[in-house]
Amino acid sequence: MADFAIGRSGRRFFAAPGRPLMLIVLVIAVVLIAAPLFKITLVTLAPDTIKAWGDVLWSRLSPNLFYKPLTNTLTIGASVAGGCVLIGGFLAWLVVMTDVPFRRTIAVLSTLPFMIPSFAAALAWGVLFRNDRIGGQVGFLEGLGFDIPNWLAWGMVPSLIVLITHYYSLTFTVIAAALATVNSDLVEAAQMAGAKRRKIFFGIILPVTLPAVIAGGSLSFAGGVSNFAVPALLGLPVRMQTLSTRIYGMMEVGQTARGYVIAILLVLISAFFLWLGNRLITGRRSYATITGKGGRAKRFDLGGLRWPLCALAIGVSVFSTIVPVLVLIASSFAPSSAALFSNWTLHYWMGESTPAIAQGLAGIAYNPDILSAIVITIGLGLCVAACGTVLGLLVSYSLVRAKRGVVPTVVSQLCFLPLFVPGIAFGAAYIALYGAPIGPFPALYGTFGLLVLAATAFLIPFAVQTGRAVIQQVSGDLEESAKLTGAGFLRRLTAITVPLSIRGLTAGALLVFVKIVRDLSLVVLLFTPTMPVLSVVAFRYASEGFAQFANAITVVILTISITVSLLANKLQAKSQPWLKN
C-alpha cells in the first residue's frame, strides 16, 4: 500500500502542469551552470591541491599572486564605475533633460561603443599610443614625433580609458531610461516654488535616478573587474596584473590549482559587488514608485553652453567609436603603425606567405588558421544563438507558468548566476569539469561541443531575458484557447508563441550571436590550436607582435559584430523613451 501511495504522489508530482518541463530545465541548468562551478571548488579542496589556497592567500607569493592583482582589479572596477557613471550620466542628462542640438545623434552615438569589443579598443590604443618601451613597432603618435610617456602607453591609465569608453554606453542606457521617467510635475512644482537648478538636481533628479545610477555603476564595475583583454594587452607589458590576467597566466603555465583558486575568489568578489549594488537599489525602490501622469518638463536651457556641450558629447562618442574603428582599419593596411597612412598594402588581407613579413604568415585570405577560425567562430555563434534561444524560451516558459516553489526559484537563480561569473573564471570552471572524461562520457576538451556548451551557459541570462520578454508579450488567452482545443506544449510553442514573437526572438538570438563572436575572456582558456576562434587568434597574434594581422582579424570581428547588432536593433525597434518629445 505504501508503495502505491508514493507512486501516486510521485505521479501527481510529475503530472502537475509544466512539471516535467521544469525538471528538464532544472537538469540542464545544473549541468551547464551549477556543476562546473561546484567542480572547480571541489578540485581546489582535493588533498594535493588544497595547498594552493595557502599559496594564494597567505604565503610569500600572495602579494604578487593575489593581493596586488586584487588591488588593481578593484581600482579598475571602482574607476570604471565612476567614470562610466560620470560620462554616461552626463550624456544621458544632455539627451533627456536639455535642449542640446543633435540629441538624436548623440543618443545613437552613445549606444555604439558597446558594440565594439573591448580588445578592439585596446588594440587601437596600442596602434596610436604604443611607445618603444617594449620594442617592436611604435605607435602612430610616436611616429609623428611625440614622446609618449610610459604611463600613457601602458598600464592603468590606458586600461581605464579604454574600459570606460567601452562601458559608458551601458550606464548611458540605464540612466537615460531612468531620467525619462522623472516626473515633470515634480520638476515644475519645484521650479514654481523657486527652487534653483542645483536644488532640483540634488533634491529631485538625483534621488529618482539613483537606483539607475547604482545599477549602471555596479554593472560597469563588474564589467571592469572581469575584463581580461584590456589589462592583458595594455597592462602585462608593464607587469600590471589583474585577477583575470593572473588566472590566465596560471592556467597557461599549468599551475591550474592556483588558477582555480584565483578564479573562485574573482567570482566571489564580482558577485559581492553586484549583490551590493542590488541591495542599495532595493533599499531605495520607494523613489521609483512615484508615478503620475505628468507631461514632459520644459528642457533645461543650456544657453551659451549648447554648442560647446554638444561638441563635447560628440567628441567623446567619436573618440570611443569612430576613431578606434578607423585606426584598426588603417592599421590592417599599414606595414608600420608609426606611419599609419603610408605604404598601404593588401598583404595582411590577401598576401601569400613571404618570409620577409611576419615570419611568413600569409594574409587572411590565404591563411588556413584564420580561415578555419572564421568558419568555427561563425558556426559557434550560430549554434550558441540557436541553443541559447531555445533554452531561454524553455526556461522562461517554465518560469512564467510555475511562479512559486523551490524548483522554479533554483532554476531562475541558476540561470542568472552566469551574470556574476567573469568569463575567464567560467572558462576555468568548464575546464575543471569537462577537461576529463565523466563516467562513460568522453572529455570535451578541445571540441566544438565544449565551446557551444560553455558559451550557451555563459549567455543564458541574456537568452532568458529575451524569452521572458517574448512570452509576456504573447497574450495568455491565445495560449489558453489552444490548450482547450487540446494542443500540446510543443504545438502551442511552435504554432503560437514563436510565430507571434519571431522578431523579438531573432533579435535576441542575434545579440547572443554577437556577444559570443566578439567574446575573448570566456574562450581564451577553452581555445585549442585545433579549434581556433577569431578573437583568440587575434589576441595571440597581438601578443606575438603581429599587430597588423591581429588588427585585420579584429576588423572582421567588428564588421560582423556591428552589422548584426544594428540588424538586431532594427528588428527590436528598441523603445527609447528618452527620445520622445
* Min CB(255)–other proteins separation in Å: 8
CA 511 to chain centre: 11
The window from 120-128, 201-209, 388-396, 543-551 that contacts other proteins (CB under 8 A) reads 543-551
Q: Are 44 and 53 in contact (CB under 8 A)?
A: yes
DSSP assignment, residue 32?
Answer: I
Please work out the total of residues on this chain that contact other proteins, with binding judged by CB under 8 A: 42
Q: How far apart are CA 107 and CA 92, in angstroms?
A: 8
Q: Is 126 in the site for other proteins (CB under 8 A)?
A: no
Which one, 211 or 259, has the nearer CB to other proteins?
259
The window from 38-46, 75-83, 264-272, 430-438 that contacts other proteins (CB under 8 A) reads 430-438
Q: C-alpha grid cell for residue 157?
A: 591609465
Secondary structure (H, E, C), 77-136: HHHHHHHHHHHHHHHHHHHHHECCCCHHHHHHHHHCHHHCCHHHHHHHHHHHHCCHHHCC
Site string for other proteins, 217-236 (x = CB under 8 A): -------------------x
* Min CB(356)–other proteins separation in Å: 5
Q: Is 343 in the site for other proteins (CB under 8 A)?
A: no
Helix (H, G, I), strand (E, B) or coil at 362: coil
Which one, 181 or 353, has the nearer CB to other proteins?
353
Q: Is 353 in the site for other proteins (CB under 8 A)?
A: yes
Which one, 256 or 396, has the nearer CB to other proteins?
256
State how far the alpha carbon of 390 is from the alpha carbons of 359, 386, 398, 508, in Å.
45, 6, 12, 11
Which one, 176 or 251, has the nearer CB to other proteins?
251
Q: How far apart are CA 271 and CA 491, in angstroms?
A: 39
Q: Among 65, 80, 463, 520, which residue sits at the site for other proteins (rule: CB under 8 A)?
A: 65
Q: How far apart are CA 73 and CA 232, in angstroms?
A: 12
Q: C-alpha grid cell for residue 19?
A: 512539471
Which one, 130 or 518, has the nearer CB to other proteins?
130
Which one, 57 or 469, has the nearer CB to other proteins?
57
Q: Is 530 in the site for other proteins (CB under 8 A)?
A: yes
Residue type, 557: I
On the CB side of 72, how many CA atoms lie within 13 Å of its CA? Answer: 28
Q: How far apart are CA 107 and CA 104, in angstroms?
A: 5
Which one, 184 or 336, has the nearer CB to other proteins?
336
Q: What is the largest CA-CA distance in the chain?
A: 91
Helix (H, G, I), strand (E, B) or coil at 428: helix
Q: Is 435 in the site for other proteins (CB under 8 A)?
A: yes
DSSP assignment, residue 485?
Answer: T
Q: Is 48 in the site for other proteins (CB under 8 A)?
A: no
Q: Is 133 in the site for other proteins (CB under 8 A)?
A: yes
Q: Is 339 in the site for other proteins (CB under 8 A)?
A: no
* Min CB(222)–other proteins separation in Å: 26
Binding residues vs other proteins (CB under 8 A): 60-61, 63-65, 132-137, 236-237, 239, 241, 249, 251-254, 353, 355-356, 359-361, 431, 435-437, 442-447, 528-530, 543-545
